[in-house]
Structure 1
Amino acid sequence: MKALQIGIAGAGPAGLATALFLARSGHQVEILERYDQPAPVGSGLLMQPTGLTVLHALGLFDKVRGLGSRIDRLHGADALSGRTVLDVRYDAAPGGRYGLAVQRAALFNTLHDAVRAAGIPIRTGISLARAAPQGTRAVLISDTGEAVGAYDLVVDASGARSSLIGGSAVAPKVRDLAYGAFWATLDGGDAVYDRGALSQRYDRAKVMIGVLPAGRVTADTPERVAFFWSLKVADAEAVKAAGLERWKAVIRSYWPDCAPFLDQIRDWDQLTLARYAHRTARPPFSGAIAFIGDSAHSTSPQLGQGANMALHDAAALSHALSAAPDLASALRAYGLARRNHVVLFQLLSLAFTPFYQSDSHAIAWIRDRLVSTVAKVPPVQRLLASIVAGTLIDPFAATGLRETDWLGGVLSPRPPV
């Protein structure tokens, strides 16, 4: 295929990674960002072996690893009894896999620096409203009605609230999820927490509190922690109206070790309310537009796959464009490459979410008694480890990647097309 003119909507991790892959393949790429200055959004995130393998393919693994916190297990306990109800360890499955918790700013800065170093232009202050067909090309239209660029291919990496997919022929139905979460990034200091785990406390399924070690933004900054508290989005204003100190007192009653984190929160503005929705575009392309990341698919964060899925979308799209004879064939190949993996983990996220965020006492009882017992059986431990790692089915071959050799420390190169 000839080199294409490609416009990428959105300068988040998905858009930045896609720009790097495509520019290195010889395409003429530019990024369009709605903010005047590209910046990360959100607190910490958990990079899985899937996403880390993509970062290696981009040559950025070592830098991100140096900033993140290695995570070896996910551990959850009943806040009242202290009984363990979730204990998923990466080493329950062979291969030496692990997770890496990073601050979103660290991931963003690493990708953004690589984009700038590659000379890929980023046009800022452009809020996109829609894409209009122009023969075989697509013209991006701003919210002021101005045509801001015509491209052989548009890659929509503008997130779950994307206006581009909202106006497309494959616009998915959006199911807003009742539960969201307050998030904050805080100093770890001398607080007592497991530095190798995502730790959670539950009161049935109505309360979930979490602490995730999130590493550093730069090598010379202190380690920080992503702290979150799950709640119904509809209840957020009532919680705020009741007062910050009352909210803190409730959390302390569940998990006293959180006190050093709570002491750092002096204003509601330090907390971000995250909202979640379930949506899947099928297929993840329309005309000369490809949808990746949260634009194409989003769900609850229970399995921690969001950023990892987005990075795999970027690799899959680049691989399809490199291997196919024309754009239409490449987009079909991209959709097929990601279909099974995306559908599987969308379904798994939907299935797991009620066990940790719902009003059902019965589901929480089943989780705490039956599921936690079954999860101790070795075959189930291995299954859960593969689900968390994102490798329950192989996501690598279809995207032109080989998984990193975690045990040997040898990072396998991306195979030739």
Structure 2
Amino acid sequence: MRPLNIGIAGAGPAGLAAALMLSRQGHRVEILERFAEASPVGSGLMLQPTGLTVLNALGLLQPMLALGSRIHRLYGADAKSGRTVLDVRYDALAGGRFGLAVQRAALFNTLHDAVVAADLPVRTGVTLSDVRMAGDKAVLLDEGAREAGAYDLVIDASGARSTLSAGSTVAPKVRELTYGAFWATLDSDGLVHDPHALVQRYDQAKVMIGILPAGRARVGEKERVAFFWSLRVTDADAVRQAGLDRWKARIRDYWPDCAPLLDQITDWEQLTLARYAHRTMRPPVSGRIAFVGDSAHSTSPQLGQGANMALLDVAALSHALETAGDLDAALAAHAAARRNHVALFQLLSLLFTPFYQSDATALAWLRDRLVATVARTPPMQALLASIVSGTLVDPFKPAGLAECDWPAIGTRPQRLSVGPSKAVSA
């Protein structure tokens, strides 16, 4: 295929990764970002073996390993009884896979630094409102309906609230999820925690508190953790009005080990309220527009797949453009390559979320007494590990990727260390 002129909407991880991959194939790329300065949004996230494999293809795995915290276990317990509710270990699968918990700033910085080093153009302060076809060109329009650029292909990587996605002919129905979360990135000084585990506490499905070791934003900085508290989005204002002290007292009652984190929070402005929606665009293409990441599919973060799915989308699109004979064939191949994997994990997320974030008392009871027991029996341990890893169905071959050789890059499971005096109860 001849080199294409490609406009990429959004300078988040998906947009930056797309610019890197496609420019290396010889395409001309330009990123358009609505903020005056491209910057990360959010607290912490999990990079699964899927996303790590894409970063390895970009030559950025080692920089991310230097910043993130390797995660070998996802553990959750009932806050009142201490009963184990969730215990998923990556080593239930052969091959040495693991997760990598990172600050969103670390992922952004690593990708953005690579984009700057490659001297790829990023236009900031451009708010896009629509795209229209003019002959064989996709023309992006800004909020004043002025032309922002004409391209052979537009890649929409502008996120779940994308105006381009919402205005397309294949715009999906959006189901706003009842539960969101307060998030903060905090210092881990004095915190007793397992640095290689995502640990959560639950009260039925109405309360979920989590601590995710998140590494450093840049080499040389302090390691930090992502702290989150799940709640109904409609209750957020009432929680704020009741005051920080009351909120923090409630968390201390559930989980006293959180005290060093809570002591750092002195203002609601330190907490970000994340809202989630379930939406799936089928197919993730419309004319000369390809939708990747949350603009194509979004859901609850319960399975920790969001950024990884976006990176896989980018890899699949890049592979399709490299191997197809023309642009229309490439877009069709991209849609086909991602269809099964996206559909499966969107469904799994939709099914799992009510067990951990909902008002359903019966589901929480079932989770605590039946699901947790079943999860400890073979082959369910390996099945859950493959779900968390994002590899329940093969996402690599359709995207033209070879999964990392984990042992060869020194990723065998390590002996877990603990905090200052003891590991958090697990």
> Normalising to structure 2: TM-score of the pair?
0.96
Partner of 1:159: 159
**Alpha-carbon distance between aligned partners in 2 of 1:243 and 1:157, rounded to the nearest angstrom:** 37
Shift of 1:95: 1.0
Partner of 1:196: 196
After superposition, residues 252-291 of structure 1 pair within 5 angstroms as 252-291=252-291
Counterpart amino acid of residue 346 in structure 1 = Q
* Deviation string, structure 1 residues 113-147 (Cα, Å, up to 9, x no partner): 10111111000000000001111111000001210
SS in 2 for 1:214: strand
Shift of 1:280: 0.5
Counterpart amino acid of residue 67 in structure 2 = L
Asked if 2 retains the 8 angstrom alpha-carbon contact of 1:72 and 1:90, the reply is yes
After superposition, residues 347-366 of structure 1 pair within 5 angstroms as 347-366=347-366
After superposition, residues 277-356 of structure 1 pair within 5 angstroms as 277-356=277-356
SS in 1 for 2:407: coil
Counterpart amino acid of residue 333 in structure 2 = A
**Alpha-carbon distance between aligned partners in 1 of 2:28 and 2:123, rounded to the nearest angstrom:** 14
The question of 1:206 aligning with 2:212 is answered no
The question of 1:6 aligning with 2:30 is answered no
SS in 2 for 1:209: strand
Counterpart amino acid of residue 407 in structure 1 = P
The question of 1:169 aligning with 2:169 is answered yes
Asked if 2 retains the 8 angstrom alpha-carbon contact of 1:74 and 1:88, the reply is yes
**Alpha-carbon distance between aligned partners in 1 of 2:393 and 2:133, rounded to the nearest angstrom:** 36
**Superposed CA RMSD:** 0.8
**Alpha-carbon distance between aligned partners in 1 of 2:129 and 2:217, rounded to the nearest angstrom:** 33
**Alpha-carbon distance between aligned partners in 2 of 1:410 and 1:119, rounded to the nearest angstrom:** 32
After superposition, residues 358-397 of structure 1 pair within 5 angstroms as 358-397=358-397
**Alpha-carbon distance between aligned partners in 2 of 1:104 and 1:359, rounded to the nearest angstrom:** 29
After superposition, residues 66-145 of structure 1 pair within 5 angstroms as 66-145=66-145
Shift of 1:408: 2.6
**Alpha-carbon distance between aligned partners in 2 of 1:152 and 1:276, rounded to the nearest angstrom:** 32
Structure 1: gaps spanning 5 or more residues:
412-417
Shift of 1:409: 2.1
**Alpha-carbon distance between aligned partners in 1 of 2:300 and 2:273, rounded to the nearest angstrom:** 14
* Deviation string, structure 1 residues 57-96 (Cα, Å, up to 9, x no partner): 0000000000000000000000001111100000001111
SS in 1 for 2:45: strand
SS in 2 for 1:402: coil
Asked if 2 retains the 8 angstrom alpha-carbon contact of 1:404 and 1:410, the reply is no
**Alpha-carbon distance between aligned partners in 2 of 1:366 and 1:116, rounded to the nearest angstrom:** 50
Counterpart amino acid of residue 84 in structure 1 = T
Shift of 1:307: 0.1
> Normalising to structure 1: TM-score of the pair?
0.98
Shift of 1:193: 1.1
Partner of 1:415: none
Asked if 2 retains the 8 angstrom alpha-carbon contact of 1:239 and 1:247, the reply is yes
**Alpha-carbon distance between aligned partners in 2 of 1:104 and 1:376, rounded to the nearest angstrom:** 32
Partner of 1:178: 178
SS in 2 for 1:290: strand
**Alpha-carbon distance between aligned partners in 1 of 2:319 and 2:182, rounded to the nearest angstrom:** 37
The question of 1:34 aligning with 2:38 is answered no
**Alpha-carbon distance between aligned partners in 2 of 1:407 and 1:87, rounded to the nearest angstrom:** 24
Shift of 1:407: 2.0
Partner of 1:227: 227
Partner of 2:44: 44
Name the stretch that deviates more: 186-195 or 225-234: 186-195
**Alpha-carbon distance between aligned partners in 2 of 1:143 and 1:85, rounded to the nearest angstrom:** 48
* Deviation string, structure 1 residues 254-289 (Cα, Å, up to 9, x no partner): 000000000000000000000000001100000010
Counterpart amino acid of residue 293 in structure 1 = G
SS in 1 for 2:215: coil
Shift of 1:410: 7.8
**Alpha-carbon distance between aligned partners in 1 of 2:365 and 2:233, rounded to the nearest angstrom:** 23
SS in 2 for 1:173: coil
After superposition, residues 51-70 of structure 1 pair within 5 angstroms as 51-70=51-70
SS in 1 for 2:373: helix
Asked if 2 retains the 8 angstrom alpha-carbon contact of 1:50 and 1:390, the reply is yes
Counterpart amino acid of residue 347 in structure 1 = L
**Alpha-carbon distance between aligned partners in 1 of 2:135 and 2:233, rounded to the nearest angstrom:** 43
**Alpha-carbon distance between aligned partners in 1 of 2:73 and 2:380, rounded to the nearest angstrom:** 15
Asked if 2 retains the 8 angstrom alpha-carbon contact of 1:72 and 1:197, the reply is yes
Which aligned runs of 4 or more in structure 1 are off by greater than 4 angstroms? none
For this pair of structures, how many residues does the alignment match?
Answer: 411
**Alpha-carbon distance between aligned partners in 1 of 2:137 and 2:399, rounded to the nearest angstrom:** 25
Instruction: Give me the identity figure in percent.
Output: 70
Asked if 2 retains the 8 angstrom alpha-carbon contact of 1:205 and 1:356, the reply is yes
SS in 2 for 1:229: strand
Partner of 2:421: none
**Alpha-carbon distance between aligned partners in 2 of 1:74 and 1:24, rounded to the nearest angstrom:** 36
**Alpha-carbon distance between aligned partners in 2 of 1:269 and 1:410, rounded to the nearest angstrom:** 40
Counterpart amino acid of residue 72 in structure 2 = D
**Alpha-carbon distance between aligned partners in 2 of 1:226 and 1:192, rounded to the nearest angstrom:** 14
Shift of 1:391: 0.3
Shift of 1:219: 1.3
Structure 2: gaps spanning 5 or more residues:
412-426
**Alpha-carbon distance between aligned partners in 1 of 2:369 and 2:361, rounded to the nearest angstrom:** 12
The question of 1:15 aligning with 2:15 is answered yes
Asked if 2 retains the 8 angstrom alpha-carbon contact of 1:211 and 1:225, the reply is yes
SS in 2 for 1:408: helix
Partner of 2:418: none
